[in-house]
Amino acid sequence: MKKWFIGSLVGAILAFAWQFLSWAVLETHAGEAKYTASQDSILNYLSSNLKEDGMYMLPTVPPGSSMSAGQELGEKMNSKPWAVITYKSAYNNDMAMPMIRGFLVDLFLVFTLIYILTRAGTPKAYRVLAGSVAVGLFTFLAEPYSMHNWFQTPTGAYTGHLIDAIVSWGIVGLWLGWWLNRK
């Protein structure tokens, strides 16, 4: 258990460090947030028309509408502009809790990965690496890719997540492959 805990702790630190580099230094996710010179007028308009925090798809039908109303809107909107907006009424620059939660999630994920990989004994280092990258790709394909691709989002908006899935879990896999097989 001590080996698992140390492996999880170091693995979480490695994953967290890559995430920091990816988001803050390397600009891997630059395609997710495009700039517009109209941002002030757009935000003013949104804040005067949206009364609660949430994610909005424009256009869409009101809650409780029939499926046929949704299909009709879809046909009417073909080849016309649309948007997905995540709206928050107040910005909060405090990153402490999100970073703590992020690290704890990394710790849980690496611990769970060790649990899964070692069910039949300790696998060889290359299998740990392959299993770790597979978990990263699985999570990418299950959430950012399938979700963004369904919305027809430009590729640049989710390629950073693919890079993170391969690199961060590859680094964790290299570490765990060495650590778990260490005598």
Is residue 144 situated within a structural domain?
A: yes
Helix pair 2-20, 96-117: axis angle to 10 deg: 130
**% of the chain exceeding 70 in pLDDT:** 96
What does the block give as tokens for 93?
Answer: 């620059």
* Residue 104 pLDDT class (50, 70, 90 cuts): very high
Is residue 116 situated within a structural domain?
A: yes
Q: What share of the chain is helix, strand, coil (3-state, %, to 5)?
A: 65, 5, 25
On whether the CB atoms of residues 161 and 139 are closer than 8 A, the answer is no
Taking only the tens place, the pLDDT of each residue in 58-81 is 898 999 999 999 899 989 998 899
Helices and strands (H and E) in the chain: how many:
7, 2
**Is the pLDDT assigned to residue 1 strictly greater than 90?**
no
Is residue 57 situated within a structural domain?
A: no
pLDDT mean across residues, the chain: 89
Q: DSSP letter string over 115-183?
A: HHHTBTBPPPHHHHHHHHHHHHHHHHIIIIIHHHHHTT--GGGTHHHHHHHHHHHHHHHHHHHHHHT--
Quick one: pLDDT at residue 34?
Answer: 82
Is residue 138 situated within a structural domain?
A: yes
Is residue 157 situated within a structural domain?
A: yes
Quick one: pLDDT at residue 150?
Answer: 60
Counted domains in the chain: 1
Is residue 6 situated within a structural domain?
A: yes
Half-sphere exposure of 89 (CA within 13 A, CB side): 7
Range of the domain at 159: 2-33+94-180
* Residue 166 pLDDT class (50, 70, 90 cuts): very high
The predicted model gives 117-121 an average pLDDT of 89
**Is the pLDDT assigned to residue 109 strictly greater than 90?**
yes
Segment holding 61, helix H or strand E: none
Is residue 79 situated within a structural domain?
A: no
Is residue 50 situated within a structural domain?
A: no
